Amino acid sequence: MDVTHPEELKMIKTLKFKFGRAPGVPPEVIDTPSITVFVGPNNAGKSKVLSEIQQFCHNGKTASRNVILDNIEFENLSEDEAKSKIEHVTLNPGVGETLRAGHILVGKKDTRHQVLQNEILNALKKPNTHHEQFCRWYLLYNTLFLGGTSRMNLISAQNAGNLQVPPKNTLQVLFRDNAKREEVRRIIYDSLGFYFVIDPTNLGQLQLRFSGSPPSNEIEEKGIHDDAVQFHSRAKPITETSDGVRAFTGMIMEVIAGDPSVLLIDEPEAFLHPSLSFTLGKEVAIASNHSGKRLFVSTHSSNFVMGCIHSGVPVNIVRLTYSNNIPTVRVLPSDDILHLMRNPLLRSTGTLGGLFFEFVIVTEADTDRAFYQEINERLLRYNPELGIPNCLFLNAQNKQTVKTIIKPLRELGIPVVGIVDIDILKDGGKTWSTFLESGFIPPIEHGPLASLRSEIKRKIEDTGKDMKKNGGIELLNPDDKEAANNLFDKLGEYGLFVVRKGELESWLSQMGVGAGKHGPSWLIDIFEKMGEDPDANGYLKPTSGDVWDFMGELKKWLTSPTRKGIPS
C-alpha cells in the first residue's frame, strides 16, 4: 500500500490542550496528521485523553470533568464533500416510520433520528460553528474506540448481508473489496506466516480463517461449491489462535476496511510480541494515511512507536506527563525520535524506552546501572522520600558516551540525570564541552567551568594520588575542596552528577568489599554483603549519608519544577 495522501478530507484539524509544554507557557495546540500517538509515564493521561476525544466527537462539548483536552477544531467541508458524507450516515425509513418534511434519517445500526437536511448540511460545511450538531448527527456514528474487549470482538463471525445493498460491517467490506482483502492478507502473511481468508460456507455468516496456502482463485475463497468448502475446512478458524493474533488481525482489518472517520486505540500492544507491535505500528500508520482516517493511539510500547516512525508517513508523537500536580504536553519531533532509533548505542541501550517513564538515570556502565537501581529500589521501599519512582535506569559504555544518551532525551523534554565518576575532570576540550552541552548549561559558562575543571584536576594530580581510588575531592585542602564542590554543585544544578568520593566502588565502603575489586566482581561482592532477603539479619536498609543521600540529591533535581537543563 502506498503512503500518498488520500483525496478524502480528514475531519479533525487540531487538538487544543488545557496546558502547555511547561508550567506557565500557553496551552499547546497541535495539528493532527493521519496518526497521533500519545506516550508518557503511567498515570500521565494517555488513556484519559482518548476518552476525552471520544466524548467530544460524540456530542461536541468539552465536559466539565475534562482535565486534558480543551477543544477540537474540525476541517470545513465543501458542499459536495458534505453531501457525500451525509449519504454515508443516511438510513432508509423502517416499516411504519414516517419522515417529516425536509428531514432525513441519520444514524448507524440501532441508533437513528431525524434531522433537517439543510441543518445537517450546514453543520458539515461549517463544523466549528455548529460543532454540537456536527458531532451528534455525523461524527458520533463515525468514531470508534477500541479497547481490549472490543478489539477481540472485531474478528467475530458477522452477518454476510445482502450483496445488493452497501456493506454494513467490516467483514462485508473485506469480502466484497478484493483489493482491501488482499492488503489484509499481505500484512497477515508477512507478520504471521498464514493466509487470511474469509469463509462464507456457513451460509449467512462470514467467518475468518488462517490458511496454510492462498486460495487458488477468488471463487475458491468466496464460493460455496465443493472446492470452496474443502479449502475452508483445511484452514484454521481464527478463534483457535492466540489473543495477540486475534487482536492484531482485528485492528489491521478495522484500519483498512472499517468505516469510522476517527479511530481511537488504547494500548494496541496488549497481547502482542514486540515484533508484532512494530509491524502493527507501521501498518496502521500507512493504512490510516491511505484511508483518510484520523487515528489516535495511547501506547507503552517503544516498538509500536518505532513502527509508526518507520512507516514514513506523517506521525505525531505526543508526550504527556503529570508530576507534582503539574501536567505537560509536548509534541516530539519525528526526526529526533528517528535519531534514537538509528543510533546504534541509543538503540542497543533501549533509550527510546525513556518515553514511557517519568524520569531517566544514565550511568557509565552496566555495573553502575545495576547498583544504583538496587539502591533506588531499597529507598522506594524503606525511605521513599529519597527514592525515585517511575524511573528508567540506562547505561552507556563509558563516561564519554553518557552525554550521547542524555542530550537527545532532554531534547524530548524528558528529565534525565547523568552520573559519572570523578575522572570526568581528566577530560578537557571537546569531551568536557559536549558533556556540558548535554546538560544544556549555557555556553557562556563553559569557559569559566573549563578553567575551574583544569585547575582542580591539577590540584588533585599534585597530591600524587589517584583521584578515583584514593578519595576524590577528599585529597584537596579545604579551599580547593570548596572550589571542587562549587564546580560539582553547578553541574548538579543541570542534572549532571559526579561521584565526589571518586568512583562507583567508593560507595558503601563500610561493607568491607576487598581492595582491588572493580566492576562486575565488586558488584557481586557488594550485592552479597547487602543481602537479598529483606527479612534476614544483615540485609542492608537505607541509612543517612553515603549513596542514599546521593540518590536523594538526584531526586531533588528530577522532581523540581524549576530544574535547569531541560530545553523549552
Q: Would you list the DSSP string of 2-46?
A: --PPPSSPPSEEEEEESS-SSTTSPPPEEE--SEEEEE-STTSSH
Q: Which amino acid is at 214?
A: P
Within 13 Å and on the Cβ side, how many CA atoms surround 516?
0
Set of cell numbers at residue 267 = 494500548
Please name the helix (run of DSSP H) or strand (run of DSSP E) that holds residue 297, with its range, or none: strand 294-298
The per-residue pLDDT for 6 is: 37
Q: In a structure prediction context, what are the per-residue pLDDT tens digits for the chain, which is 568 residues long? A: 333 333 345 689 999 999 999 888 999 999 998 899 999 999 999 999 999 999 999 999 988 889 999 999 999 999 999 998 898 889 888 888 888 999 999 988 778 889 999 999 999 999 999 999 999 999 999 999 998 788 888 899 999 999 888 888 899 999 999 999 999 999 999 999 999 999 999 999 999 999 999 999 999 999 999 999 999 999 999 999 999 999 999 999 999 998 888 999 999 999 899 999 999 999 999 998 888 789 999 999 999 999 999 898 889 999 999 988 889 999 988 788 888 888 888 888 889 999 999 999 999 999 999 999 999 999 999 999 999 999 999 999 888 899 999 999 999 999 999 999 999 999 888 889 999 999 999 999 999 999 999 999 999 999 999 999 999 999 999 999 999 999 999 999 999 999 999 999 999 999 988 667 888 999 999 999 999 999 999 999 999 999 999 999 999 999 998 899 998 7
Strand order in the sheet with 29-31: 29-31, 12-17, 69-74
The per-residue pLDDT for 300 is: 95
Set of cell numbers at residue 182 = 488482499
Please name the helix (run of DSSP H) or strand (run of DSSP E) that holds residue 186, with its range, or none: helix 178-192
Asked if 320 and 49 touch (Cβ cutoff 8 Å), the reply is yes
Q: Report the Cα–Cα distance between both ends of the chain, in Å, rounded.
A: 38
The per-residue pLDDT for 336 is: 83
Sign of CA dihedral 146, 152, 153, 158: positive
**How far apart, in whole angstroms, are the C-alpha atoms of residue 496 and residue 232?**
63
Asked if 295 and 265 touch (Cβ cutoff 8 Å), the reply is yes
Asked if 405 and 362 touch (Cβ cutoff 8 Å), the reply is yes
Q: Which amino acid is at 185?
A: R
Among 526, 539, 523, 525, smallest CA distance to 382 is for 539
SS3 266: strand
**How far apart, in whole angstroms, are the C-alpha atoms of residue 339 and residue 358?**
21
**How far apart, in whole angstroms, are the C-alpha atoms of residue 471 and residue 501?**
5
Q: Are strands 205-211 and 236-237 parallel, antiparallel or unpaired?
A: antiparallel
Among 492, 497, 507, smallest CA distance to 548 is for 507
Compute the CA torsion angle 428, 430, 432, 437 (nearest 10 deg).
160
**How far apart, in whole angstroms, are the C-alpha atoms of residue 554 and residue 563?**
11
**How far apart, in whole angstroms, are the C-alpha atoms of residue 267 and residue 68?**
18
pTM above 0.85, yes or no: yes
> Around Cβ 401, how many Cβ atoms within 10 Å?
17
Length of the chain, please? 568
**How far apart, in whole angstroms, are the C-alpha atoms of residue 489 and residue 216?**
73
Among 299, 307, 290, 242, smallest CA distance to 267 is for 299
**How far apart, in whole angstroms, are the C-alpha atoms of residue 392 and residue 466?**
32
The per-residue pLDDT for 10 is: 65
Please name the helix (run of DSSP H) or strand (run of DSSP E) that holds residue 249, with its range, or none: helix 243-257
From the number of C-beta atoms within 10 Å of its C-beta (0-12, 13-18, 19+), residue 149 rates as exposed
SS3 326: strand
**How far apart, in whole angstroms, are the C-alpha atoms of residue 514 and residue 466?**
18
